[in-house]
Amino acid sequence: MRATLSQTVAHWRRYLAVCLAAVPLVTGTVQAQATGSIAGRVIDARTEQPIAGASISIDGTRLGGFAGADGRYRIANVSAGTHSVTARSIGFAPVTQSVTVSDAAATADFALQVQAVALDEVVVSGTAGGERVREMGNSVTRINAVEAAKQSAPPNITALINARAPGLIVNFNTGRIGSASSLNIRGRSSIGQGNSPLIYVDGVRINTSTGVGPSAGGFSAQGAQIGGRLNDINPEDIESIEIIKGPAASTIYGTEASNGVIQIMTKKGGGARPTLTLQVQQGAIWFRDPEGRIPTNYYRTCDTCPLQTWNAVTAEADSGRKLFRNGHTRVVTGSIAGGTQQSRYYVSSSYQDEAGVEPNNSQKMFSLHANLGVTPNEKVDFSSSVHYVKLNGHLGTDLGASTMFGAIGGHILRFPASRGFSAGFPPEVSWELWDNMQDVNRFTASATVNHHPAEWFSHRLLAGIDYTHEDLRGLERFAPPELAVFLSPTGATGRIGQTIRTGSRYSFDYAGTAEARLTSSLQASTSLGLQTFRTDVGTSALGGTGFPGPGVELVSATSTPLTAGQSESVNTTVGGYLQEKFSWRDRLFLTGALRVDNNSAFGEDFKWVTYPKADVSWVAGEESFFEQFRDVLTTFRVRAAYGESGQSPNAFAALRTFSPVQGPGGTNAVTPGSQGNPDLRPERSKEFEVGFEAELFQRLSLDFTYYDKKTVDQIVNQAVAPSTGFPGSVPLNLARVDNSGLELLATLHAFERPNFAWSITGSLATSKDVIKELGIVPGAISTPGGANRVGYPIGGIFTKQVASADRSPTVPFATNVLCADTAGRPPIACAQAPYIFQGTPTPKRTGAITNTVTLFKRLRLYSLIDFQRGNVVWNVNELLRCQGLFGGRFCEANYFPEKYSPIYLAETSGTALNQGIIDLFYQDASYFKLRELSATYSIPERWIRGLSNASVSVVGRELHTWTDYAGIDPDFSGANDQAILPQLSRLSVILNVRF
């Protein structure tokens, strides 16, 4: 019946009153008479395996539950009568059935079918209760972490999410055990403020810092900083991951969210009975084909002497030594989960022991996780999440002291005293003496209260903390006589640097949502949120050199202390949002929102920043006129969104600072430090995206997005005038960067038969970033490498470029070498040539292809191949070997020049590097990788009496790379790949049993 005008006015009056008035927390409840229960099991229709964590709800009530690890559930206190009961899980189509409840227990089993386009899934959106996919005008990718972990046995969370969401790039830094990787979504958009997304675990913003290896006391133990905190999370504790990709989606998350948001939800309890799960993993870790990937070097001691080749891997093997050992991985994880109608629990513990391919690289990690939920009545529910990690890691050594460095640039004729290793010592020096350690204790906890005082109003209060204590040590031990001969007298006595870092991140989040039905077809909801985030980080560094003897490894035992340092940093964000959403017949949704923020890093003359948002979603496939296409296009939704978000300045960038110095006569004094900028404001990103989801023939699903993003007020440093009295530079909001790209995710269910199923999933993403404004006039490029220039990508690569050369008849180099000029002018002498753009370090195209084959409902075969295209990596290993920086010429071109072009020979001359000619060493880093390959067999129940479920898996990772890149591995995100250990291969056997 159509609502009358007076009824509509009454609805609006009540609705506005709710929006403007504070609603008290009402904890009373009206108990419905409970006369029965509903119990059953939720399984995958294809494999008949249980779906752990599936949610079961009774429509029209707040009663519901979750399936346990065995797929079983039980809902108590259900009133007598017939009810509609719905089962849901990520990646499956919901199933609803009618169930009649009496004084006896009713049974309702569910078999869910895989469905890639699930419009009624609820995702975390920052509002109370979340939002259904159909309501959102922006792209959100959801990863079923439980299924992904079964398929791939990921050693850490970055391996879990890699290649599973279009537009998300995992930047690998090194293959060492315990190393960190950084993430970025939709490429790079900030010149100097970082490009990592915000990451939440169960609603708590967490520490995801990278590059936190030992650098205490002014040094690390001859190594790079490769540690990081994101991988402290055990993948087996994660239930799902949601990736919110840009300002169009992350507006209500406020300042610091312009690079996107990743929400990690951990496993919850549930089920009809307690379920105990045990997983044991044993595997090998190795450096794949080291003798083929580490180059073979050429050398002779005089022009008439015989030419001799040397490969570090084969040379050590021929001498009875192994340059790289086979490492191992051992993981034991146990959990118990269960619950009742009023409570649910999940408790797990895990122990991981991994060793890398070198003796000084290993890690041991113990984790304990608990989730508890209590629902005392239909109006209130409480949940808490607690996570504790104890980690001890030995990160190994990189760069100058690493085995890789010595092997790549060595030769037995050039460095005979060190068995050919160019570092000046054999590998056992770094393996036995140098140790970069990290001891980490981490505690993350959250508590959430959801309250539903009325059918039309619900609100949520969350408080959480992420606390990390890191003891980071770079140790060079006192050398025994047999190793001291390779070191200087001072170096042989050792040294140590230590950093103690303590960080606390506090999260406070309130959100409320009021709903009103304005007419029979029009519904509205208003959401209000208030948030506070605070980060406290304290660092103390000390160190010393010269131990009195072997076995002494304390800072207090050194003879010469190094300069100690201490710092404190506090950053606070306070903000809130107001959002209004209108729904027409549950098909057309219009949303508008406004976010207001203040951050302690803003300049003192800039207080508040405002970010707007608007989006629209239309489920066109449910309209009546779409009926004629229903046989072909079973699901179709279009969406569009616009939003703004920000990136706060560095903590002290806006402040004027002074540094302490010693004044005349030993008095205390200060000297100008940095000028600061009281008007400094956040970088501001503005993004528009449009896309659609569709399902064709109930077999092929498509999810497409186009985005266009502009980041203005970019912070760049401007040189300070000497007349100010302050040195250095001052941060100013001057620059602008534009980003754009496409994202496509497609799944094809190629075959669906009782004993055979085959599904293929493919993803593709493009990314382009262009600097539109810098606000300052940069100096001329005087050295090759990355530079920021208007009209080019962030960190674009510029070098001089050889245009022509002739082959020399007498020496293994080229003559008449000319370099490219600009604007199509003829080549000129390389000394006067300009620097030419060579490419971008950011991949332009990324994607993945997965295949899943299920045989006889028990054997599942899985593969993942991912790729990236369009970026360059600086092959420094080849440059160092071929331009003579090791005191000799090691590459083949110097001895067999007839195999190489004159242009390549021009770049191997001794003067090429001094002239900035290294363009051939910036090489195309495109690749395809067989990243994951697995087989899982579910053991028949008749074979496992006493167990509810058991399976065994064999999983391989990093098994092959297809690439034209001439270096060791193109899958590297740093400025260059000098002596970096590549991603290591793994083969694991995993046994899962459930009681």
**873-891 confidence digits (pLDDT tens):** 999 889 888 876 554 578 8
Kindly state the DSSP code that residue 870 receives in the 8-state scheme.
Answer: S
The answer to whether the Cα torsion of 645, 524, 638, 130 is positive or negative is positive
Longest alpha-carbon distance in the chain: 105
pLDDT grade, residue 614 (50/70/90)?
very high
The answer to whether the Cα torsion of 61, 63, 67, 71 is positive or negative is negative
Predicted pLDDT of residue 216? 44
Kindly state the DSSP code that residue 932 receives in the 8-state scheme.
Answer: E
pLDDT tens-digit readout, 418-445? 999 988 899 999 999 999 999 999 999 9
The neighbour count for residue 567, using CB atoms within 10 Å, is 11
Predicted pLDDT of residue 631? 85
Helix (H) or strand (E) holding 535: strand 522-545
CB 935 within 8 A of CB 861: yes
Predicted pLDDT of residue 604? 87
Kindly state the DSSP code that residue 419 receives in the 8-state scheme.
Answer: T
- pLDDT for 82 beyond 60: yes
pLDDT tens-digit readout, 330-365? 999 999 998 877 889 999 999 999 999 999 999 999
Give the whole-angstrom CA distance, residue 743 versus residue 235.
26
Find tokens 């707040």 and name the residue. Answer: 62
Closest Cα to residue 276, out of 338, 232, 344, 329? 338
Predicted pLDDT of residue 9? 38
Instruction: Say which residue, 913 or 837, is predicted with more confidence.
Output: 837
Find tokens 């201490």 and name the residue. Answer: 566
Give the whole-angstrom CA distance, residue 258 versus residue 250.
7
pLDDT tens-digit readout, 363-419? 999 999 999 999 888 889 999 999 999 999 999 887 667 889 899 989 999 999 999
β-strand pairing of 55-58 with 668-674: unpaired
Closest Cα to residue 509, out of 267, 253, 244? 253
Predicted pLDDT of residue 886? 57
Reading across the β-sheet that carries 796-799, which strands appear in turn? 785-787, 796-799, 836-839
pLDDT tens-digit readout, 665-723? 778 888 888 888 999 999 999 999 999 999 998 889 999 999 999 999 999 998 888 87
Tell me the whole-structure pTM to 2 decimals. Answer: 0.89
Give the whole-angstrom CA distance, residue 567 versus residue 537.
8
pLDDT grade, residue 620 (50/70/90)?
very high
CB 203 within 8 A of CB 507: yes
pLDDT tens-digit readout, 796-843? 999 999 999 998 887 778 889 999 998 789 999 998 999 999 999 999
Cα distance between the two ends of the chain: 54
Q: Which residue type does 890 have?
A: F
CB 715 within 8 A of CB 728: no
